[in-house]
Structure 1
Amino acid sequence: MVDRASPPDWIVEQPVLTALALLGVALGLLVVLPYLQYVLFGIVLAYILLPLQRRLEEYLRPMIAASITIVVAILVILLPLIYILTVALRQTSQLVTAVRNGGVDLETIERTLAERGYSVNLTGLYESYQDAITSGAQGLATGVLDIVGGLPGIAIGLTITLFVCFALLRDREQLIEWLYRVVPIDDAIQRELFAELDQLMQASVISNVLVAAIQAVLLGVGLAVLGIPAVVLLTVLAFVLTLLPLVGSFGVWLPVSIYLVALNRPVAAIGLTLYGLLIMVSDTYLRPALIGRTSAFNSTIAVVGIFGGLITFGAVGLFIGPVVLGGVKVVLDISARERADGTAAGVGPATNAESDSDPADDP
């Protein structure tokens, strides 16, 4: 590592250069901000693909390895993801249309529930909240149309994602060395920060997503076997809910089980309930095994990070939000430790000097 002055000395000795550096960072953020979620998606994608890149680099040059990795990402990740989301949006649109056109047979559901001793006036409830339901359905339909109308912008954003991912895979070593040089933090602290952030990314991006994907796919298979409509939409919803440690897939299978009871399919409802409980039990073993015990990644950080990340960063905030909050906790912990170490180092010599000059110790 190159020797450098301590951060306070460097800032004081080069005030103009410091101001220019801060101005450059601010302007760079303004340029990146319109496509921030796509840049973050590129970072997440590069982290996911890094093991494949390292394996290919054992036989190929970094440029060729990164190119092959990007092609694999397009074929294995992006295209299936786009297809799944497209089907989910189409099923959402069909559901909205059915609700708006009265395609849901509320009278049959009421009659079935009444036969089982549950008197519920669903028709009255629907009429009471018809305006709210209609406005909500129109909002969903408008959202779908906005997504379709924004396809050119999405295409540009995904292009940025692929370029960011490619650059990070090919030039990651140079980027790390550059960060060591330009960030005014001791190298040992930087290495510790990188290690902690790597654990957070592993927990949030790899392990947590893998747990959610496994449970969502299992539930989707069960729903498909039972002939439940809008299976893809429900599977995507189960994936999102399973990312939340305190919610899980029961937010999908429980309402569907009630729906099956209302349709006079009690055996299917009981089967889905037992199957859903089995999936929830598997969460008890999958999550600790894959996520492990990362101190900066707990339930509170995960829940707040996911919801806050969704609002701040968009869809990619599902993964980045917990990493950001966990990273803040790590930085504060390291800062407090370094401050305590500095205080102890400052107090120790003074105490020893006073002890050495104590007249009572003189002969």
Structure 2
Amino acid sequence: MNDRMKINSSHWVLIAALVASAYACYLLIEPYVNSIVMAFIISLLMFPIHDWLERKLPKHKNTVSLLSCIILTFIIVLPLLVVFAAIVQQGSTFSQSTYQWVTQGGINTLLEHPLVVKALAFANTYLPFDEISPQEIASKVGQFATSLGSNLVSISAKILGDATHFLMDFFLMLFVLFFLLRDHDKIIGAIRHILPLSRSQEDRLLDEIEQVSKSAVMGSFLTAIAQGFAGGIGMWLAGFPGLFWGTMMGFASFIPVVGTALIWIPATIYLYLVGEVNWAIFLAIWSIAVVGSIDNILRPLLMQGSAGMNTLMIFFSLLGGIQLFGLIGLIYGPLIFAITMVLFTIYEEDFKGFLTKQDNS
């Protein structure tokens, strides 16, 4: 009995030391967790290509992993650089056009529109704000247009800083990806060895992590690309810089509930107020029927494999993920929900007799 207690005590000491050291390791890698997680997820997406290369060069694992990383770089970085340059060019042209429109009296004409006059009158009558005058609005817009150039310089500097940070994270991710692809079998084997689960339970858990990781990336990012592309076409046909506003709609699609409406509703109102009624109607119909249907159809279709989660659970996993983790939460949220559901299923199976007894008692 004493020997048994001694063994149990030593086990608990070992577990406590392991938890403490694991937490210390987590603190060391915490600044780089997102890059590591993205490398893991991209390794799942890249593995078919990597596996094909590995069959062609079976004795050159390092070379195959390096080729996979190079292919990924060409797939992601080069198109991003081309799109970024076009966005900067179109954004600059749009800002200059806006400045000319404001300084040449366009804002005053807009404020004289009957609907704007009625809206201001309603706001001044019923809303608990200080009185809003058209002259004050025109003055504020004029000040903004005057400072637009300096604002663009600061925004460009921030974008450049963000781009530099993105490249650093990207190359760190590539570094991790190289080893994940090269040592894939060893890593999976080590995870299986450590997990205190049966082989079937391990298969179910690992398969679900792989499936949900893929579906989260495909569901969120491919939907954003599709909505940005469709929205950019609609904005271009309506007379706006298509690539610039299409990209903005792609980013807006990540925002739950509001989504791309954050872009196309103001654009539709603007077109209507300046007299382009037909184009305003077209943009509204296009955005609802085409851009909106992409989000309603494509995202659930791509994420339907997320551990049997229904639309409501997917919605809250995305919303909560963004709230807690930022943009990367679009992946973390569904992944946490899916792992939890798989663990609940395993719990239900292992404690089936106890749970059945509880139900019948």
Residue aligning to 1:114: 114
1:91-136 superposed Cα distances (whole Å, 9 cap, x missing partner): 778888999999484222223x32798554655457689999999x
For the Cα contact (< 8 Å) 1:305–1:325, is it kept in 2?
A: yes
Cα distance change of structure 1 residues 41 and 92 upon mapping to structure 2, 3 Å threshold: farther
In 2, the alpha carbon distance for the partners of 1:276 and 1:152 equals 33
1:57 is the counterpart of 2:54: yes
For structure 1, list consecutive stretches of 5 or more residues without a partner in the other structure.
1-8, 352-363
SS at match of 1:14: helix
Which amino acid is 1:219 matched to? G
Which amino acid is 2:78 matched to? L
SS at match of 1:227: coil
For the Cα contact (< 8 Å) 2:220–2:330, is it kept in 1?
A: no
In 1, the alpha carbon distance for the partners of 2:255 and 2:166 equals 27
Deviation, 1:218, is: 1.4
1:271 is the counterpart of 2:282: yes
1:187-225 superposed Cα distances (whole Å, 9 cap, x missing partner): 332221112222322321123432332222111122223
Q: Name which of 5, 14, 32 aligns with 2:29.
A: 32
For the Cα contact (< 8 Å) 1:106–1:122, is it kept in 2?
A: no
1:169 is the counterpart of 2:181: yes
For the Cα contact (< 8 Å) 2:307–2:342, is it kept in 1?
A: no
Q: Superposed, which structure 2 residues align to 1:1-363 within 5 Å?
A: 14-61=11-58, 62-85=61-84, 103=102, 105-111=106-112, 113-114=113-114, 118-120=118-120, 123-125=135-137, 145-149=157-161, 153-229=165-241, 231-243=242-254, 246-279=257-290, 280-292=292-304, 294-310=306-322, 312-331=324-343, 333-334=344-345, 336-338=347-349, 340-341=351-352, 343=354
In 1, the alpha carbon distance for the partners of 2:143 and 2:318 equals 31
In 1, the alpha carbon distance for the partners of 2:232 and 2:154 equals 27
Deviation, 1:227, is: 2.6
SS at match of 2:239: coil
In 2, the alpha carbon distance for the partners of 1:11 and 1:183 equals 19
In 2, the alpha carbon distance for the partners of 1:143 and 1:335 equals 50
In 1, the alpha carbon distance for the partners of 2:26 and 2:180 equals 18
Cα distance change of structure 1 residues 159 and 246 upon mapping to structure 2, 3 Å threshold: same
Which amino acid is 2:77 matched to? L
Cα distance change of structure 1 residues 26 and 100 upon mapping to structure 2, 3 Å threshold: farther
Cα distance change of structure 1 residues 250 and 154 upon mapping to structure 2, 3 Å threshold: closer
Cα distance change of structure 1 residues 243 and 184 upon mapping to structure 2, 3 Å threshold: same
For structure 2, list consecutive stretches of 5 or more residues without a partner in the other structure.
1-5, 121-132
SS at match of 1:20: helix
Higher RCO, Cα 8 Å, sep 6+: 1
SS at match of 1:77: helix
Which amino acid is 1:290 matched to? L
SS at match of 1:58: helix
Which amino acid is 2:228 matched to? A
For the Cα contact (< 8 Å) 2:35–2:169, is it kept in 1?
A: yes
Deviation, 1:261, is: 1.2
In 2, the alpha carbon distance for the partners of 1:40 and 1:134 equals 44
For the Cα contact (< 8 Å) 1:212–1:243, is it kept in 2?
A: yes
Deviation, 1:256, is: 1.4
Which amino acid is 1:41 matched to? M
Which amino acid is 1:250 matched to? A
Cα distance change of structure 1 residues 343 and 110 upon mapping to structure 2, 3 Å threshold: same
For the Cα contact (< 8 Å) 1:37–1:313, is it kept in 2?
A: no
In 1, the alpha carbon distance for the partners of 2:146 and 2:321 equals 29
Deviation, 1:168, is: 1.7
Deviation, 1:302, is: 3.8
Superposed CA RMSD in Å reads 4.2
Cα distance change of structure 1 residues 147 and 245 upon mapping to structure 2, 3 Å threshold: closer
1:139-177 superposed Cα distances (whole Å, 9 cap, x missing partner): 998676445346655443222111112222222221111
Pairs aligned (count)? 338
Deviation, 1:329, is: 3.8
TM-score after normalising by structure 1: 0.74
Which amino acid is 1:32 matched to? I
TM-score after normalising by structure 2: 0.74
Cα distance change of structure 1 residues 102 and 184 upon mapping to structure 2, 3 Å threshold: farther
